[in-house]
Amino acid sequence: MLKVTAVHKVYHNGNKSLSVLKGVDLGIDKGKFIAIVGPSGAGKSTLLHILGGLDSPTKGEVIFNDENLYKLSDASLSKKRNKEIGFVFQFYHLLSEFTVLENIMLPALISAAGGSAFGGSQRFKESAEELLKQVGLGERVSHFPNQLSGGERQRAALARALINQPRLLLCDEPTGNLDSKTGNEIINLIKKINAENQMTVILVTHNIELAKAADNIYHLRDGVLVN
């Protein structure tokens, strides 16, 4: 479902250039759970952003469900990203002025034509409530993000990533701000979702022990992926 061919990423700063990715190749079948590991600064997040349509490669192709992401119009890419790709980041990115339930509903409301009020769709509300139950936050729907622990915020962020039933879930250091026990709980939850929903998962982490939860582990070294 995802094929990456000869992806390069070069950043330019005046007369200087920094080559981060130097010809990444990767193929992932539907329902697989893979981990990409490497030290800080290796380009893991850059690669994940390119896979998810958040940042374009300098050259190379990313084919997702038979479509070249970077030949789509900006509008089509945004639509595909919203509906088919879920993101979980290290820093949660929950909106502080909204409740947990409202945060979870937000991507669904964005994807719905004319969705302008949180109370506008009972279906989205019920889906968000069910997801919060699945991630162990069924009693937290009316709480605000600052009333949650770090682990609870990451569970909420995971539920938000799942609200549109994406085909691909991208997780960028999702345990980076958590203690080891809570981090393991989050990884186990991601693995459970992968198994139950046949959702393709790509996990980026510097922690090799957490990466062992995946079906396959790739190492990002010198700008390329190796097994």
pLDDT tens digits along 32-80: 999 999 888 889 999 999 999 999 999 999 999 999 999 999 999 988 9
User: At CA 176, angle to CA 175 and CA 180, rounded to 5?
Assistant: 60
State the pairing for strand pair 85-88/59-64.
unpaired
pLDDT in tens, the chain (227 residues): 899 999 999 998 888 998 999 999 999 999 999 999 988 888 999 999 999 999 999 999 999 999 999 999 999 998 899 889 999 988 888 999 999 999 999 888 877 754 444 445 788 888 899 999 988 999 989 999 999 999 899 899 999 999 998 999 999 988 888 888 888 888 999 999 999 889 999 999 988 988 999 999 999 988 999 98
CATH number of the domain within which 157 lies? 3.40.50.300
Alpha carbon distance 36, 58 (integer Å): 20
Instruction: Tally Cβ neighbours within 10 Å of residue 171.
Output: 26
- Residue appearing with tokens 């729907």: 141
Please tell me what DSSP assigns to residue 141: T
Q: pTM of the full predicted structure?
A: 0.89
Total tally of structural domains belonging to the chain = 1
Look up the domain containing 141 and give its range. 2-226
